[in-house]
Amino acid sequence: MTWWRAAGGSSPRGVVIALHGGWWRDRHDLHLMDPVCAHLHRSGWTVANVEYRRTGDDFGGWPVTMSDVADAIAAVRAAELGPDGSPTIAIGHSAGGHLALMSLSRGLIDSAVALAPITDLARCVREELAANATVLFMGSEPDTDPQAYLDASPISQAPNSRRRLIVHGCQDDRVPIEHSRNYIRVAMSDNEPVSYLEMINTDHFDVIDPEHASWPATEAWFDIQYPQP
C-alpha cells in the first residue's frame, strides 16, 4: 500500500482507497492508479493505493484477493486518517472496479466509484474475455461452481443503500460497455442509489487518465457527493 496524505497537516475531505485493474493478474500492479491517486490527493483527499495478491506467482484468486482488499480497508479505517465521520470511498478500475463494488456490497466502505468494472464473472467466461483470466481467478468454470460465481459477481449482490458511480467508455474493447449497462439496469430495478456515466470517445484506459476529457465528469461526482468543507 502507498499513501498520498493530506498536505501540511490539514484535514482531508475523506479517504479514497484505490484499487487497480489488470484482470486480477500479477503482470499488473498498483502503479496503474498512480495518476488518479495523485490527482485526488491534489483535490484534498487522503489516498491509499492498495495492492492485493493476484493470479500467477502472487497466488491470488477468489476469495483470497477479496480478503486482501478487506484487510487493507480495515487497516485504513483503523488509521483514523480523517476527521470523525469523514467518508471512505473506493475507486477501482476494471478488476479493481469489481473489488470496489464487492467491498461496497459487504459494507466495508461508504461508497464506490467503479471505472469500466467487471460486474458479471460468468458472463466474462462465456464471452471469453481476457484469455480466460476469470477462470484463473475463480479456480473453476461457472458450470462447475455456479454459486461461487454468483457470490463473486457485483451484479448478483443484494441491493443496498450505499452510493456508487459507474463510469464506462463507449470505445472500451477490454470490458464491453454492455456489462455496465446491464449492471445499471439491475441496480435501477432495485432502486439502488447508483449513478452512471457513459463516455463517448473513451476507451478502457482513458477512464483512469485525469488528463482525459472524460475525467471532469468523474471528479464532479466527488464534488457533488462530498463537497469541500
Q: What is the pLDDT of residue 7?
A: 63
Q: What is the pLDDT of residue 8?
A: 53
b/e 30-41 (16+ beta carbons within 10 angstroms → b)? bebbbebbebbb
Q: Please list the alpha-helical segments (H only) found in 28-89.
A: 34-42, 64-78
Asked whether the beta carbons of 3 and 33 are under 8 A apart, the reply is no
Please work out, in degrees rounded to the nearest 5, the angle formed at the alpha carbon of residue 27 by the alpha carbons of 17 and 156: 55
CA–CA distance, 15 with 13 (Å, rounded to integer)? 7
| Strand partners of residue 3 | 48
| In the block, residue with C-alpha cell 475523506 | 14
pLDDT along the chain (229 residues), means of 10: 75 92 96 97 94 94 98 90 80 98 97 98 98 96 97 95 97 98 95 96 98 97 89
**pTM for this entry:** 0.96
